[in-house]
Amino acid sequence: MVWTPPAEDIFRRSEQWHVRIRGLHKTFGQHQVLRGVDLDIARGKINVIIGGSGQGKSVIIKHIIGLLKPDRGHIVVDGEDIVPMSEYQLNRVRRKFGMLFQYAALFDSLTVEENILFPLIEHGLRGPGHNDGVRRRMSRAEMRQVALEQMDKLRLPHVLLRKFPSELSGGQRKRVGLARALVLRPEILLYDEPTTGLDPVATKNVDDMIRDISQREGVTSVVISHDMASTFRIGDRVSMLYEGRIVESGTPDEIRRSRHRYLRLFVETSGTVQLDPVPDSELVDGDGPGEAPR
Ligand SMILES: Nc1ncnc2c1ncn2[C@@H]1O[C@H](COP(=O)(O)OP(=O)(O)OP(=O)(O)O)[C@@H](O)[C@H]1O
Ligand SMILES: [Mg+2]
């Protein structure tokens, strides 16, 4: 697998690719974090981004929802380049996204119910999935119904609705964060390290939940993960960020055949995923795409 971005027109809506990133550069002060990221996000699939701490994974995700502006490059969502967009235009595109932040980021002073309903209130009390631009107030009973549905969807007991985030377990907090991310029925769900700090069983539960949501809602998922077992369990596609670029991108099977030295080290060090053997003489270094034997 030599992963070179396809030469086709990226500024056209594609059935296969939901988000297309080309030549993304971002520097903070003296620190060049992204040095030409090329990445395609497959529509309706689970796309996992792996890479070492501080490599810029969260920075990529923040660019995808327009929270950060790149120094240069393109981020094309459904055929629209969001880089030149104004804040006003971005807000329209942002409605396509649901985000589960790295530390779940619930509002501590709000109850679980208020947390889950927060996006509805923020977006002008619009009913979920009403992208027709018609604003209408939802009644208290309707809102409560939405909260209950979200709880069921995430298999959370209803009694938790009145609790505060500090009273929940880590796994429950992630679920509530996801319930909140889903409330506006996003087309694209972004998960930043959804299993960090969870034990193996809770990790497996969150993985199942991501798979479940992906299949049931048909959403496109982008997952940043440190956890290799989880990456290979849920990923339809896996991409590795290394030294500011995507050095490898493919199905888990393709990634298992990677010749990229650092990728192999990174995945094998986890001790949970076995790669296909590749002779040492065939390994490639550096930040270009590696080449896996066919
Ligand atoms: N707003 C910012 N201002 C300055 N530097 C930033 C900013 N955001 C990120 N960085 C820097 O960019 C680099 C990449 O950060 P990022 O959070 O994307 O890493 P990451 O790959 O998500 O790491 P981790 O796995 O630890 O979450 C870091 O060195 C970080 O300090
Ligand atoms: Mg991060």
Which residue's CA lies nearest to atom 2 of ligand 1?
28
pLDDT of 104 reads: 64
| Residue 104 region by backbone torsions, left for phi larger than 0, else alpha for psi between -120 and 50, else beta | left
Atom of ligand 1 nearest to the CA of 51: 21
Q: Are residues 110 and 162 in the same domain?
A: yes
Does residue 5 fall inside a structural domain? no
Ligand 1: which of 53, 59, 102 to mutate, most ligand atoms within 8 Å of CB?
Answer: 59
Atom of ligand 1 nearest to the CA of 59: 18
Q: What single-letter DSSP state applies at residue 159?
A: G
Query: Cβ < 6 Å from ligand 1: which residues?
Result: 28, 31, 33, 51, 53-59
pLDDT of 159 reads: 96
Cα–ligand 1 centroid distance for 221 (angstroms): 21
**Residue 168 contacts residue 176 (beta carbons within 8 Å):** yes
Q: Are residues 270 and 198 in the same domain?
A: yes
**Residue 202 contacts residue 245 (beta carbons within 8 Å):** no
Taking each helix axis from N to C end, the angle separating 170-182 and 140-153, rounded to the nearest 10 degrees, works out to 130
Q: Are residues 201 and 286 in the same domain?
A: yes
**Residue 136 contacts residue 127 (beta carbons within 8 Å):** yes
pLDDT of 9 reads: 83
The two three-digit tokens of residue 114, written as one number: 């208020």
Report the distance separating Cα 164 and Cα 167, nearest Å: 6
Ligand nearest to the CA of 53: 1
The two three-digit tokens of residue 209, written as one number: 């939940």
Three-class DSSP category at 203: helix
27-31: which pairs have CB atoms within 8 A and are 24 or more residues apart?
A: 27/71
If we measure between CA atoms, which residue out of 144, 202, 208 comes closest to residue 173? 202
Which residue's CA lies nearest to atom 16 of ligand 1?
56
Report the distance separating Cα 44 and Cα 88, nearest Å: 27
Which residue, of 132, 156, 185, is where some domain finishes? 185
Cα–ligand 2 centroid distance for 99 (angstroms): 13
Q: Per residue of the chain (294 residues), what is the pLDDT tens digit?
A: 555 655 668 899 999 999 999 999 999 999 999 999 999 999 999 999 999 999 999 999 999 999 999 999 999 999 999 999 999 999 889 989 998 877 667 999 999 999 999 988 877 554 444 444 455 677 888 889 999 999 998 889 999 999 999 999 888 898 899 899 888 889 999 999 988 878 888 888 889 989 999 998 899 999 999 899 999 999 999 999 999 999 999 999 999 999 999 999 999 998 899 999 999 999 998 765 544 443
H-helix or E-strand spanning residue 190: strand 188-192
CB-based burial label for 227 (10 Å; 0-12, 13-18, 19+):
buried
Cα–ligand 1 centroid distance for 28 (angstroms): 9
Which residue's CA lies nearest to atom 31 of ligand 1?
54
Q: Are residues 42 and 120 in the same domain?
A: no
pLDDT of 127 reads: 47
pLDDT of 124 reads: 58
Cα–ligand 2 centroid distance for 281 (angstroms): 33
Report the distance separating Cα 3 and Cα 88, nearest Å: 35
Cα–ligand 2 centroid distance for 141 (angstroms): 38
What is the number of residues in the chain? 294
For the chain, how big is the Rg over CA atoms in Å?
20
Q: Are residues 145 and 267 in the same domain?
A: no
Range of the domain at 244: 11-96+187-294
Does residue 228 fall inside a structural domain? yes
Ligand 1: which of 27, 28, 240 to mutate, most ligand atoms within 8 Å of CB?
Answer: 28
| Strands of 188-192's sheet in order across | 97-100, 188-192, 220-224, 46-50, 237-242, 245-250
Q: Are residues 125 and 267 in the same domain?
A: no
Cα–ligand 2 centroid distance for 52 (angstroms): 9
If we measure between CA atoms, which residue out of 68, 156, 62 comes closest to residue 113? 156
Which residue, of 121, 154, 185, is where some domain finishes? 185
If we measure between CA atoms, which residue out of 289, 246, 240, 290 comes closest to residue 21? 246
Does residue 109 fall inside a structural domain? yes
Ligand 1: which of 31, 50, 58, 64 to mutate, most ligand atoms within 8 Å of CB?
Answer: 58
Q: Are residues 154 and 222 in the same domain?
A: no
Atom of ligand 1 nearest to the CA of 61: 18
